Amino acid sequence: SCPVAPASRSSQEVWESFSQCFTPAVKEVVEFAKSIPGFQMLSQHDQVMLLKSGTFQVLMVRFCSLFEPKERTVTFLNGQTYSLASLRALGMGSLLDAMFDFSEKLGSLGLEQDEMALFMAVVLVSADRSGIVEVGAVEQLQENLIKALRSLITSRRPDDGTLFPKLLLRLPDLRTLNNQHSEKLLAFRID
Amino acid sequence: PKTHRVMTLADHISHIITQDFARNQ
């Protein structure tokens, strides 16, 4: 909720706190997945595999709204806004740069909240297929969600034929972000 | 002295998901 710790906290404690913040966010993605029509019809094994592959990418989309690309600032959950420069000084470098760039591209599309939610569902079911057992079922769900997203976007913007293809082009960006950053190390204290 | 478990963000995500599904079985 806040990147700046009281002076009494060691950098180790700050890093533990930062690592912990991912836990509730991941749980929210699991709950979100369960609300996607058709997701719980997949085998439990395949639900787990999609979540393991896709959660980081869904989180990147969710956290976009915290980034202000023009000002290069991030708003944390405590309501405070910090510049990229000050966050870099705390050691939060390359992942933040990549998230700013992605936020700028996604933000420029001007999606409504329901469109973002449906896009996140598409992101999740478009995750890496290795380990999926019933590939056909996952592909059918992906196709249904993409059709729904296309229909929602084009019905609202009948004169803009470029928005939907531009949105789909964000999927490979997310995969790249995932490949580059999901191996970052977190540290959890063992009590 | 404190000891730490170090894991990647990917492994942490996997761990949370596995725990969630096991809890709800």
pLDDT tens for chain A, residues 1 to 191: 566 655 555 666 666 766 777 788 899 999 999 999 999 999 999 999 999 999 999 999 998 888 888 888 888 766 778 788 877 766 567 777 888 889 999 999 999 999 999 999 999 999 998 899 999 999 999 999 999 999 999 999 999 999 999 999 999 999 998 988 887 777 777 76
Q: What is the ipTM of this complex?
A: 0.85
Range 1-25 of B in CB contact (< 8 A) with A = 2-10, 12-14, 16-18, 20-21
Chosen from B17, B18, B19, B20 to mutate, greatest number of chain A CBs within 10 A: B17
- A32-70 burial, b for 16+ CB within 10 Å, e for fewer? bbeebeebeebeeebbbbbbbbbbbbbbbbbebeebbbe
Could you tell me if A185 lies within 8 Å of chain B, comparing CB atoms? yes
A123: its two tokens = 């992101």
Contact A121, A37 (CB under 8 A): no
Distance in angstroms (rounded) separating the CA atoms of residues B1 and B23: 32
